[in-house]
Each structure stands twice: as C-alpha cells, then as structure tokens.
Structure 1
C-alpha cells in the first residue's frame, strides 16, 4: 500500500466514523473552553499582576517572558494549550481504539480513560513543551547572534526597507538554520509519535514514553513523515475547497436595498454558520484521520488494555446543547448589534501617520503640511533629542533609511541635520526636506490640526518629557496635543508631569486588560482590534485608535467597530472613506463589513486617493 493510499484510507475511515468523531470533537472542545480557558486566563492574569499593571505590552511582554517568573508562566500557558490539544486527540484516539459505534458510549468511555490518565497527560504535555523548547533554544540563540552580527549596526527599519547585502546574509543564514531546526524537530517528533499512545493505553510513565516511542519507531520514521505531509496537504486542500464554496455563496448576498437588510444579514450569518460548521466537521475528520494514521504505527503490548465501561456523556451533551443555545443568543445579539452599528454615525477621527507618509517623505514638513491639507484631524509625529538638546521629529534611531547617513540622532547636532537630505529617497522633488523640529511642526499645525507626539526612546534620552512639555506650553497648544509611547513608564511619567494633558499607550501586542492602564487613550495595531476590545476601552472612558490602516475596506471595518481614530499614511483616503460611508445606506455598509469579514471582493477604487 502506498503512503498516499494509507492516508486517503485514514480519511475515509475517519469520515465513516463522523457520527462518532464530530459530536465527540464538539463536546470535548466545549468542555475545554469551560475548563482550559479559565485556567489560561488565571495564569495570564497572575503573570500580569506580578508587574503591578493591568496589562503588559510589547517590550514589557518580552522582558517578562525572559524573567524566571515569566518563563515559568509561559511554560504553564503553553502546557495548558498543549494539554487541551492532547486531551482532544486522546479522546479521538481512545474512541477509535475502543471501536464503539455509538458516539456517546464511545465518548464517555474515551473521556473516562483520559480523566483517569489526566495527571500523566499533563506531565506528558509539560515534558513535550520543555523538550521542544530545549531543541529550539540553541537555534534561537544562534539566530539571534546572526541577527545581532548582521542587522544591528543601523536601525532595523533601514534593513527592512532597503534589504542591503547584510540583510540577505542574515536571511540566508537564518533560513538555513531554520531548515536544519525543522529537520531536527521532524526527526524528534517522528520518534516521539507514539508517546501519547504509550501514556494513554499502556500506562507508561510520561518520563519514559519518549524513549520507548523512539525505540518502537525505529525503521518507521520515514514513512510516518511522508504520511503526515500528505495528511496536512489533504486537509489544506479540503479547507480551500470549503472556503471557495463559501465565497460563491457570499456572492449571492441580496443587497438590493435597505428593505432586504435583515434578510441579507440573516443569509450572511447562515452562510458563515455553515462555513464554521463545515470547518468543525473538517477539523474533527482530519483529527480522526490523524488518529487512524498514528494508530497504524502503534501495537499495544499490555495484556489487558484499559477499556472503561461506557458511561454517560450527559454532562458534555448538556454542555453542548447549552453552548449551542448560548451561541444562538450571541448570534442574535451580534446581529442586532451589527445592525445598530452599520446604521450609527461614525465617530472616528483621521490621524495622519508621520504626516501623510504614503504621499510625502515621512516625518518631514512636506508630509505634515500634506496631512493638514488633506483634512487630518490629528498629525502624528515621532520625537527624539539631539546631541545639542533640540527636540527633532524622527522615528528611527539613525538616518540610514531616510538618507543613507550613518549617524545616530542622539549624536547629531542641528548643524549636522541641516546637511542631511531626508526627502530624496522618496522622490527628487523632495531633496530640500530636512529633519524638522517639534517647534516647526507645532507652528505649522497650530489652529489647523491637533498633534499626537510619540515619544521615542533608544536609551539616550536626557529630559525628553520636560523638553516636549516646555515647547508645547511655549506655543500654548496644551489642548491641541497628545503624547503616547510604546514605553508604559513614559506614559505614566507624562501623566504625572502634566495630569491634564492627553497621554496614551501605544501597543503592537498586549496581554491583560488594556483599558485598565493609565492614560486617556490606547493606540493599537489593527490586528489586535475586536469589538470586545473597543467596548472595554470605551467603557473605561478612554478612546481607542488603530494603526496603521491604509486599505479602504479595513478603514471601513474599523469605523464599523466604533473606533475613535484611524492612524493612516493616507489621511485623504480615510476622509474619503468616512465621507462615502456617511452617504451610504445600511445595506452598503453591511456589504463593506461582509467584504472585510469574509474576504468578499468589493471594488473600492472610488475611495482610493489618486493624488500624487
């Protein structure tokens, strides 16, 4: 039998047992949501509480994970997630090996077995995480050394923008390292493939399961690797087909007028529900097929394999039915909430990111003036201190990306800066652009737009906050500026220095409750934004800004969620999107929401800013 035939037969066997696998998969997943998710939340909240903050962002997350307590917390969280996956797979494998055809009898037998082995399974999960981390750690250290050797002479944005030879050296070396790491991981994982079965069906101690599995898999690893690759490819192909069919169904959404709005919403949610259900069936079938594949490599060697008496899955069944009812209620609430949102006026302000950075060289007076001309409510800039104590507008730590000049901002004087052309890289017509000062920007913006000042820290700041405050007060613009930073202590310092000024937290990633941090607003990566986050931040009396949104569909989606500000490189486009949305009926707004949520294709050319 060929490896492809073996995998296809595994999928057929799993599909034949779909009436067992799918209900068990759904029921167990619901149980895990009730059990594992709170445990993860408790672990994360405990970790965050050690910092005396309600949330950790970016640098604080990295620093915490590198601390002893943070590393332990990360291991626990990873182990909990892995335990959830181990639990689901164990139930599928157990129900397969027990051969029961009734889903509830099979499920109750399998769950009874898993619960009797739960401490051992958790021990297996922890050991698995630690073993994988130990395998990955040397490669991660070497990769970090390569990056340090090749990508730290200049600001990282220079390497990411222009891809100099040293960048490609790093890409090639780290890429080769990743391939070696993948090869090592695949070898070890294929050797450990029977570890879970040994713990589950033979009662082997988790600490011994890995070595015993490696012994039993001798001579079989090559075939397993190929079968796993084929299993994954088949799953991806089936998922792609399901998504294609869903796309065809979404194309039939009836949006001919406001009268059909509820019908369109109901139809769309039904299609989305069918898509989700198909995804669940695929996940259950694929996991069942994986159980069949691995079961083919496992020969039980105990005289009396554990087969608990079938019991009742009444509790999981009740949980499943209850969860389904809750899901229906949530769906109805969500549908009503969505109808309200698509009919409500937008509240978003337009914030020009580094000026109008898509149309003019970033953080130059040309970009600032363009953002003001294009009607930005706010102009967002980055500030640092020079060697002669001047506050200048600059994002990177040096001038390599903007000018090809190897000079750090904190080592530069205004005389140096006067000779550095930071506009020609964008276009020869901007050769006259020089790094502006904060005074230049405030003078240009006064009475025309407000200014968000991002405080940049590279470890060489002297008195950045006080100097910024003095310049703002010199122009009398206390009510027309806001400050923000990726560095949370800087936000706290600004609030302590000027309690009445607007200050906010800038975050690319976060764990915990962002709404509980000090400040008047949070500015988050658009990928982090959810309706729940928007509601929690606004319920705390704060604003939420999203960055960097340059696609009109994404701008519309963020506006539909009720965000307070769109940080964009294209302020004219953002204003056009909001103008068009203001003239749209609910049906058209719903279409834009559907397009973003479900990947539908919508022509947004009319919203695009074609101005040079």
Structure 2
C-alpha cells in the first residue's frame, strides 16, 4: 500500500509543478524535432547510399539491418531516438533536482547541464540499447526457433487466418518466452534505474554507470519494480479516461444535415484540440512523476560537479520558437496541399484487390468477374508458376488457407490444381472454383478492365517474367496491364525486359526516396501514406496507390490526400464512396478526413453478406 501512496504522491508532486514540467516538456520536444531530425536523416541517407537505389523497401531493409554496416546504422538511429527520450527525461529530472520554481529558469539550468553532458548522454544511450539488445537476443532467437518449428510447415497466412492448434501452441510458448524476457528486463532495468542520474548529476562515466547503479539499487529493486508497474497502470488508466471522454464528446458531433456541417467541423476541431492538449499534459505530468519516483532513490555519494547557473532561456527558447515556426509553416504547407486535394475532383482509380476479395473467394474467376461487374478500373491478381510451367493466380506459397491442402504451388501441376477446391472455405456456393490461370484472367478482362499483375516469389520461380510477358503479348494487352512486386530487382528486370510497360514497386515499409525508384507507380500500405509522400511521388511523374483500403472513411481520407488508386477488397464500395464525394462540398469532405484522422472507422467485416 505504501508503494501505491508513493506513486500517487509522485503524480501529485508532478502536477503541483505542472507550470514547470509542461512548458519545459513542450520546449524540449520542439528543440528535439529541430536537432534530432537531421541525425536520423543522415543515418537513413547513409543506409540508402550504400545501395544503388534511392530507397530501401521491405526485404532490402531487412537485409541491410542484418549486415554489419546496417546493424551499426540501426544502433545509431535507435540511439538517436533513445537520446531524445533521455534528453526530455533529463530536463525533467534536472529541473526537479535544481529546485527552481520558475519554468524558464528551471528549463534553462537543466538544458545547460544537459548540453555540457551531451557526449556522455549519447554514449549512455548507445550502451543502453546494446545492453537491452543483448538481453533480448537469446529470447528472440528462442521465439524464432519456436515459430520455425510450429508455423513454417504451411504458408503463414493459413496460420493467421484459421489459427489451428499449432498456432496457439506457438502463441503459448512464445508468450511464455516473452514473459521470461520481461522478467529479466525488469530486473536489469530496475538495477540500471539510477544510471542516467549518475551520468547527469555525478559525472560518472557511461561505461561505469550501469554497475554503480546496480550496487546502489541493491535491496531496493523490488520496491522500484512495483512502483514502476503502478506508475504505468495509472498512466494507462488516465489516458483511457481521457480517450473515453473524447469519444463521448465526438459522439455528440451533429453529423446529420448540411446546416450542421460547419458546427460539426468546428466542434470536432475543438474536441480534437482538447484531446491533444490533455494528452500532452498527461505525457509531461507522467514523465515528471517518473522523475520524482527515481529521484527518491537517488542520493549523491560523491561531490556533485558544478551545475550551470540558472539563466534566461533565450537561446533554447529561440530554438524552440524557430522549430515551432518551421513546424507551423510545414503544417500550413501540408494543410494547403490537403485543402487543395479536398476541394479538387477525386482522381483515384479503383483497383480490385485479388478481384473483389471481400465478396468472393480471393484470386478466383468469381472474384475477378465481380470486380469487373462492380466497375473496378483495375483487377489486381497474384501470379506464380506451377510445376509444369503454367502461370497461375495464387497469393500464398501453398493451398492450405484456401483449401486445407498442403501442396506447394511450385509442386502442383495443372492436373493437381484442377482437383483443389479453393472456394468452399469462403462459401459452399463457390465449391466449383479452381485456381485460375493468368490466361483465363486476361481473357475475361480484355476490353472490360485493366489488370495489375503482382509477381510473387518464394524462391522457386523459373521464368516467371518471360512467361507473363508472352501471355500479355498474346492477348495484345500491353497497354492494359501493369506489373508490380515487393522484390525491387523483379521490377527492374521487368523494366529491362519491357521498358514501355507499366511497372511499379510494392512496399509495406520504406526508407529513403520512393519516388526515385524505377517504375511508373508505387503501391504502399495505407499506413505509410502522407500528403508529403503523395506529393513527392506525383512530382516525380509517378502514380501512388494505397492498399488495402476497405473502410469507407479511410477511402475518403485517401482520396482527400490525392492518391491515384485505391486497392480494395470492395471495389463497388470504393466507387460509391467516390460518387458520394463528388456530390459533397469541401466542408463535408474535410469533416470526413477529420473523422478518419481521429480514429473513426466502419466495421466492414459484417458487410460481406449484405453486399450484392
């Protein structure tokens, strides 16, 4: 009970100093945006410069991080981000320990102290990350072995979709490993709890800070672990309460009737602003409470090195104001672009993902026909090679998810494929569906819809690109198809084979300049899409598609952003959203964009049976 009282007292103490903690927190955050962003940019540019590409995506990123140079760069980037958190916490701890009641004097003295220790703080951050990684590594290796043992017999999509017993065995075993890792981390982190204080307030060398902290925390770790757990729970509870209140206020937005749109927009902005402000105050107060808690465990054992005298915060304040001004200008610039997109007619094309995968079994002729009937501008499919050299339409490496058949695609002949029912899993009505060939899809789409062909690679392709090009040319559909792949060398190979054909890069994650990659378009995960990315890609003369967008509000938000294509399992819904948007005014469109920005969504999982 004493520990709970200590934590609540820490929160009370932090709240009593909100006039110090909140402005200092905001000022330091603004400074960090200006100071740390260049460091991250340098690290990212270094990573990209070591390749022959303008950007790294997915597999390239993983390969780079696993290389010696990539590992060092990754550690540097992580250290920069951790240093940001270290600096914020250091300012809070410094302003608390120096006992200044004036926010600017407290912030000034704390920032001066931190600047004088900056090299040591960066060294501490890098050493901290390495120590944590070394602790995590064996547990990660064991978890990877468990996953390999239990989840690699079939395609991963089968396990994620149907969650068979082996999936839950893996979840249980990996969960136990993660709990053990958490226990070890908590033990070590509680031992290192005073390391930052030692570097900051006693001038201890970063290399020695961890061991000295462990010695000083001997006999106190148990209490600290409990207090940290309570501190975290209280923070989550308060954040949950704030979100609940904000949700209740958003529910009061008057969405019905054109006359209420202006009021709804203003009301939404006010609620969103108050929510953001409350979150900011909570972050500052919780960090202050953590500083109070840890300060209670810290007693200086050596002569404290001289601290800078409190002065004015002119230089840091000017830096913060400058950073804030830059942020505002960027915000206005982005906002102006967004407003222009909101006001402009939508240019997005509708791309049926694996056909109309929400309404028919994916990558079947039924799904392809449905997408065409629903007015999709493009039908997107995945292709691989069968054992007898036929280009077939299949996404996974095997048929487990679609049919419960473990046969690998590259081991299946067309005779085998003809026996595999890939429709019943979706609905018994589609029991006659079989894996189609690319030939069948092109024949069905010719003159009715364009086709995006995603080239899938599982290390068993033989001559996929040449076989695809031969089929496309046989149907004389060069102008009605596009190819794309997660594997950038495949995109480059297609451009070399057929320079005039439309090709693009598919990316779930990326660093660097996507617009500089070869191809006529990029297709990115919707979570990656930003107004800045959209503008940069389009400024390079390329199109940008987003996937997989099934929520009508998100469809509207992506259209407002100005994307060129919506890759969706629901092409009919996407067309309807674009039709309705065409009849809306700017205020209504902006309201839809805000609704998505602040987390509103529509559950489309229940729509399958309701869709025509």
TM-score bracket, shorter-length normalisation: over 0.9
Could you tell me whether the CA contact under 8 Å between 1:380 and 1:454 is conserved in 2? yes
Deviation at 1:319, TM superposition (A): 2.4
Deviation at 1:328, TM superposition (A): 4.5
CA 1:347–1:606: 2 relative to 1, 3 Å: farther
Query: What is the aligned partner in structure 2 of residue 476 from structure 1?
Result: 476
SS of corresponding position for 2:96 = helix
Could you tell me whether the CA contact under 8 Å between 1:257 and 1:587 is conserved in 2? no
Could you tell me whether the CA contact under 8 Å between 1:394 and 1:435 is conserved in 2? yes
- Deviations 1:36-91, CA, capped at 9 Å, x for gaps: 11101110111111012111111111111101011111000001111111111111
Query: What is the aligned partner in structure 2 of residue 88 from structure 1?
Result: 88
| Deviates further, 97-106 or 585-594 | 585-594
CA 1:399–1:600: 2 relative to 1, 3 Å: closer
CA distance in 2, matches of 1:483, 1:515: 17
Query: What is the aligned partner in structure 2 of residue 50 from structure 1?
Result: 50
Could you tell me whether the CA contact under 8 Å between 1:258 and 1:585 is conserved in 2? no
Query: What is the aligned partner in structure 1 of residue 117 from structure 2?
Result: 117
| Deviates further, 131-140 or 219-228 | 219-228
Matches within 5 A, 1:42-441: 42-251=42-251, 265=265, 268-441=268-441
* Structure 1 segments unaligned to the other structure (5+ residues): none
SS of corresponding position for 1:345 = coil
SS of corresponding position for 1:546 = strand
| Deviates further, 98-107 or 581-590 | 581-590
Deviation at 1:263, TM superposition (A): 6.5
Deviation at 1:586, TM superposition (A): 2.7
CA 1:605–1:164: 2 relative to 1, 3 Å: closer
Deviation at 1:171, TM superposition (A): 1.1
- Deviations 1:144-187, CA, capped at 9 Å, x for gaps: 11111111111111111121222122111111101101111011
| Deviates further, 81-90 or 327-336 | 327-336
CA distance in 1, matches of 2:199, 2:283: 24
SS of corresponding position for 2:457 = coil
* Structure 2 segments unaligned to the other structure (5+ residues): none
CA 1:40–1:370: 2 relative to 1, 3 Å: same
- Aligned pairs, how many? 612
CA distance in 2, matches of 1:62, 1:138: 19
CA distance in 2, matches of 1:271, 1:428: 48
Deviation at 1:273, TM superposition (A): 3.2
Deviation at 1:549, TM superposition (A): 1.0
- Deviations 1:325-356, CA, capped at 9 Å, x for gaps: 44444555555444433332111111111111
Could you tell me whether the CA contact under 8 Å between 1:258 and 1:586 is conserved in 2? no
CA distance in 1, matches of 2:6, 2:367: 61
Could you tell me whether the CA contact under 8 Å between 2:79 and 2:125 is conserved in 1? yes
Could you tell me whether the CA contact under 8 Å between 1:54 and 1:512 is conserved in 2? yes
Query: What is the aligned partner in structure 2 of residue 24 from structure 1?
Result: 24
Query: What is the aligned partner in structure 1 of residue 532 from structure 2?
Result: 532
CA root-mean-square deviation: 2.2
| Deviates further, 102-111 or 76-85 | 102-111
CA 1:267–1:337: 2 relative to 1, 3 Å: farther
Deviation at 1:367, TM superposition (A): 0.8
Query: What is the aligned partner in structure 1 of residue 585 from structure 2?
Result: 585
| Deviates further, 323-332 or 97-106 | 323-332
Could you tell me whether the CA contact under 8 Å between 2:423 and 2:431 is conserved in 1? yes
SS of corresponding position for 1:213 = helix
- Deviations 1:408-441, CA, capped at 9 Å, x for gaps: 1111111111111111111212111111110000
CA distance in 1, matches of 2:268, 2:312: 37
CA 1:146–1:605: 2 relative to 1, 3 Å: closer
Could you tell me whether the CA contact under 8 Å between 2:553 and 2:595 is conserved in 1? yes
Could you tell me whether the CA contact under 8 Å between 2:21 and 2:284 is conserved in 1? yes
CA 1:247–1:329: 2 relative to 1, 3 Å: farther
CA 1:335–1:388: 2 relative to 1, 3 Å: closer
CA distance in 2, matches of 1:311, 1:513: 43
CA distance in 2, matches of 1:488, 1:600: 35
1:458 matched to 2:458: yes
Query: What is the aligned partner in structure 2 of residue 497 from structure 1?
Result: 497
CA distance in 2, matches of 1:55, 1:330: 23
CA 1:334–1:267: 2 relative to 1, 3 Å: farther
Deviation at 1:110, TM superposition (A): 1.2
CA distance in 1, matches of 2:63, 2:468: 27
Query: What is the aligned partner in structure 2 of residue 38 from structure 1?
Result: 38
